[in-house]
């Protein structure tokens, strides 16, 4: 049989029972070298469950416990000893409950020691973790023997393996203690805020423990989140009225009549953004967020009174449909934060997504709320929102918070700067970019394909423009008196060499090219002018409207004083003719119609060509071309006649 341990392969040439008997005797030898060798072999073969059963049946684990209790050996001897014990106990054959207080104290002493081999501390921390998780009685003994200060100091060492093992023991203590022991939880959070500040990277195991700690700690808020407001609770009513009093400077309410005081309170609660003015507590019956929404609003009002008053007074002075309701927004924002932080959800066994900001702030939810409620007001103004846009604004705010937290800010100040920089216009840009990436239109191979298709599609648009000029267009003449009573027709000859034009009657159908008496050879055209640069626009400078200027274009020929002047009937005709004339002159087309048509054609062509690759990811770079074979002797010889 083979067994692998720490890269060491041992062949069990003997039966497990015989091997267990030999090692059991070897660790009791009076020769220290024999004892050390036996323990080293035992550390490797203890992972085999059959051997472990044979060794434990001889009370080998009890012998190891006794050796630990009486041990005064060197560190290498101790390391093998504790590794053997841990491997045997991991099989679950015997209970941890049978361990003595002396043994626990001995193991704990290695954790409390300031100078000790790192490997000894790692295995000692692992043994204590298993004890804590096995029973509540062992949890109490370990808690008494291991000082919390020393254990927290292990999180600040540079050895990441010791950090991880210490964190595992701390999490075991925290999860076993439950909600009752907040000292352990607060101590872990404080120590982690120090250790993570200089930690360059966090391993997968440590990331999981940080995630679990974050989940367990935030879940202390779940009872408040699940509890609706009790209108008969005097303390809760006082907090609710405290929000109103902190926002408005009112005259002494005691001097007012009952009806007057009730009317004044209803008016002020309406300004605060409660939907039920006479009984604002009705808004807080929704659970979640329950009383947690009241807590966050009260924290904002007490810790940031200036910002709170500014928010309420600014919105109460706006029109009713444009005001951002503080209470309604706060309740919804608290619910969003609870969902983002997964409050009330049990930690996953494989989760590792934690927020570093959590370990730098005691009241994370309250402080995040204070930043995000001001962000909400800012986003509301950027979107020029009304009451009907409430849900849209909350979706944008959720996206702003989620995107910012995904960047893993390490402090509230950093979070505040990032989330405020991520304004509404930036959100729109990110959405557009992500949509294009989702459609894979921004993948490097697709962009390269677009560039290869562009010349072909541009040529297609050029041909369409020339064909449109060959069909011809009716133009109106505008006199100095602005009378639009004359029409003329212009068209390009089929060989693209001559422009034919001439006056036509109002009800005339498309004239033939032979009926157009005047013509201009394309070779004689010197320039294409548009807008205010056209000769017929300069003659009436200052008298033409912007609409006419936007539709005017001219071609000059022979000498500068000769020109053919156009005023298109629509922007589409203007784009078609200016593009077509540019093609005749050997220039690039530049109209907005051309750019729009090119993008449409490119998009359609790309989608058609990628149709067979639907749901197949496109890599950013081309796969490597394999090397040619050493010979090409695999070719079929067609010279041989078939038999």
**Higher per-residue confidence, 642 vs 420:** 420
Examine the pLDDT at 435 and tell me if it is beyond 50: yes
For residue 627, tell me if it sits in a domain: no
Examine the pLDDT at 400 and tell me if it is beyond 90: yes
Same domain, 190 and 296: no
Two structure tokens written together for 605: 């062509």
| The pLDDT value given to residue 560 | 58
Q: What are 556-568's pLDDT values in tens digits?
A: 987 656 889 999 9
| The pLDDT value given to residue 341 | 93
Average pLDDT over residues 541-565: 80
Q: What are 310-346's pLDDT values in tens digits?
A: 998 888 877 777 889 999 999 999 999 999 999 999 8
The DSSP annotation for 33-59 comes to: HHHHHHHHHHHHHTTSHHHHHHHHHTT
Same domain, 381 and 238: yes
For residue 211, tell me if it sits in a domain: no
Average pLDDT over residues 462-487: 80
Alpha helices in 273-363 (DSSP H): 291-303, 305-316, 326-340
Boundary-marking domain end, from 373, 407, 436: 436
For residue 10, tell me if it sits in a domain: no
Beta carbons within 8 Å of 406's beta carbon, 6+ residues apart: none
For residue 49, tell me if it sits in a domain: yes
This model's pTM is above 0.75: no
364: number of CA atoms within 13 Å, CB side? 27
Same domain, 232 and 167: no
Same domain, 425 and 472: no
| The pLDDT value given to residue 225 | 94
Torsion of CA 118, 123, 125, 128, to 10 degrees: -160
| The pLDDT value given to residue 180 | 45
Same domain, 414 and 492: no
For residue 151, tell me if it sits in a domain: yes
Same domain, 175 and 100: yes
Quote the CA–CA distance of 57 and 73 in Å, as a whole number. 26
| The pLDDT value given to residue 420 | 94
Least confident of 138-142, 167-171, 227-231, 559-563: 559-563
Average pLDDT over residues 367-391: 93
Same domain, 36 and 171: yes
- pLDDT category at 615 given cuts 50, 70, 90 is low
For residue 46, tell me if it sits in a domain: yes
Same domain, 480 and 420: no
Beta carbons within 8 Å of 26's beta carbon, 6+ residues apart: 34, 35, 37, 38, 41
Q: What are 363-376's pLDDT values in tens digits?
A: 889 999 999 999 99
| The pLDDT value given to residue 172 | 82
Same domain, 466 and 412: no
For residue 600, tell me if it sits in a domain: no
SS3 520: strand
- pLDDT category at 608 given cuts 50, 70, 90 is confident
For residue 508, tell me if it sits in a domain: yes
Nearest CA to 267 out of 255, 253, 285 is that of 253
- The Cβ of residue 64 has, within 10 Å, a number of other Cβ atoms equal to 24
| The pLDDT value given to residue 178 | 61
Distance of CA 261 to CAs 236, 250, 254, Å?
A: 20, 10, 8
Same domain, 270 and 412: yes
- pLDDT category at 479 given cuts 50, 70, 90 is low
Query: Highest mean pLDDT range out of 45-59, 310-324, 388-402?
Result: 388-402
Check if the beta carbon of residue 151 is closer than 8 Å to that of residue 186.
Answer: no
| The pLDDT value given to residue 197 | 45
| The pLDDT value given to residue 9 | 41
CATH of the domain at 507: 2.30.29.30
The DSSP annotation for 527-575 comes to: EEEEGGGSHHHHTTTTTS-HHHHHHEEEEEESEEEEEEEEE-SSHHHHH
Q: How many domains does the structure of the chain reveal?
A: 3
Distance of CA 341 to CAs 35, 217, 346, 391, Å?
A: 53, 11, 12, 20
Quote the CA–CA distance of 377 and 369 in Å, as a whole number. 12
- pLDDT category at 153 given cuts 50, 70, 90 is confident
| The pLDDT value given to residue 185 | 55
Examine the pLDDT at 73 and tell me if it is beyond 80: no
Output the 3-class SS for 228-286: CCCCCCHHHHHHHHHHHHHHCCCCCHHHCCHHHHHHHHHHHHHHHCCCCCCCHHHHHCC
Same domain, 241 and 273: yes
Same domain, 333 and 423: yes
The percentage of the chain sitting over the pLDDT mark of 90, rounded to a whole number, equals 30
| The pLDDT value given to residue 8 | 45
The range of the structural domain enclosing residue 237 comes to 226-249+256-436
SS3 411: coil
Residue whose pair of structure tokens reads 């973790």 in the numeric block? 129
Examine the pLDDT at 3 and tell me if it is beyond 50: no
pLDDT averaged over every residue in the chain? 83
């Amino acid at each position: 049989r083979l067994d692998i341990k720490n890269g060491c392969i041992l062949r069990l040439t003997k039966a497990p029972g015989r091997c267990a008997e030999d090692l059991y005797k070897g660790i009791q030898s009076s020769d220290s070298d024999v004892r050390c060798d036996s323990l080293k072999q035992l550390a490797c073969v203890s992972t085999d469950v059959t051997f472990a059963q044979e060794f434990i049946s001889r009370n080998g684990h009890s012998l190891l416990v006794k050796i630990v209790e009486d041990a005064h050996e060197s560190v290498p001897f101790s390391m093998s000893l504790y590794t053997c014990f841990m491997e045997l106990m991991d099989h679950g054959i015997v209970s941890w409950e049978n361990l003595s207080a002396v043994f626990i104290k001995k193991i704990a002493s290695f954790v409390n020691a300031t100078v000790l081999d790192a490997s000894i501390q790692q295995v000692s921390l692992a043994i204590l973790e298993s004890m804590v998780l096995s029973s509540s009685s062992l949890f109490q003994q370990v808690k008494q023997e291991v000082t919390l200060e020393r254990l927290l100091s292990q999180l600040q060492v540079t050895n990441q393996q010791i950090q991880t093992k210490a964190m595992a023991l701390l999490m075991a203590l925290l999860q076993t203690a439950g909600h009752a022991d907040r000292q352990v939880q607060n101590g872990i959070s404080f120590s982690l805020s120090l250790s993570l500040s200089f930690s360059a990277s966090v391993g997968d195991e440590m990331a999981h423990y940080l995630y679990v700690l974050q989940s367990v700690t935030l879940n202390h808020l779940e009872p408040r989140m699940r509890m609706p407001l009790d209108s008969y609770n005097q303390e809760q009513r006082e907090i609710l009225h405290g929000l109103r009093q902190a926002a408005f400077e009112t005259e002494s309410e005691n001097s007012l009549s009952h009806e007057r005081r009730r009317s004044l309170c209803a008016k002020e609660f309406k300004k605060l953004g409660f939907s039920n003015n006479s009984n604002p507590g009705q808004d807080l019956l929704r659970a979640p967020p329950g009383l947690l929404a009241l807590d966050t609003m009260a924290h904002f009002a007490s810790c940031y009174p200036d910002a709170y008053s500014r928010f309420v007074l600014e919105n109460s002075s706006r029109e009713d449909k444009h005001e951002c309701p503080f209470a309604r927004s706060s309740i919804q924002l608290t619910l969003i934060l609870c969902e983002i932080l997964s409050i009330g959800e049990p930690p996953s066994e494989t989760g590792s997504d934690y927020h570093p900001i959590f370990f730098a702030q005691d009241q994370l939810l309250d402080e995040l709320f204070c930043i995000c409620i001001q962000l909400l007001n800012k986003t509301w103004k950027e979107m020029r929102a009304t009451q009907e846009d409430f849900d849209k604004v909350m979706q944008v705010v959720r996206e702003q918070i989620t995107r910012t937290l995904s960047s893993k800010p390490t402090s509230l100040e950093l979070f505040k700067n990032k989330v405020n920089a991520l304004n509404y216009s930036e959100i729109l840009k990110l959405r557009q970019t992500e949509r294009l990436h989702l459609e894979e239109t921004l993948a490097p191979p697709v962009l390269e394909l677009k560039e290869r298709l562009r010349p072909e599609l541009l040529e297609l648009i050029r041909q369409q423009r020339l064909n449109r000029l060959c069909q011809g267009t009716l133009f109106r003449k505008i006199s100095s008196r602005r009378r639009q009573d004359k029409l003329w027709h212009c068209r390009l000859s089929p060989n693209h060499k001559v422009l034919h034009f001439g006056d036509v009657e109002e009800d005339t159908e498309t004239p033939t090219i032979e009926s157009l008496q005047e013509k201009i050879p394309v070779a004689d055209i010197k320039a294409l002018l548009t807008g205010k640069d056209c000769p017929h626009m300069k003659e009436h400078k200052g008298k033409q409207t912007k609409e006419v200027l936007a539709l005017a274009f001219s071609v000059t020929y022979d000498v500068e004083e000769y020109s053919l002047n156009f005023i298109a009937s629509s922007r589409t005709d203007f784009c078609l003719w200016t593009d077509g004339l540019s093609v005749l002159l050997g220039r690039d087309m530049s109209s907005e119609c051309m750019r729009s048509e090119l993008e449409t054609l490119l998009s359609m062509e790309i989608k058609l060509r990628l149709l067979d690759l639907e749901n197949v990811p496109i890599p950013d770079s081309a796969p490597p071309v394999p090397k040619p074979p050493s010979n090409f002797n695999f070719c079929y010889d067609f010279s041989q006649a078939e038999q």
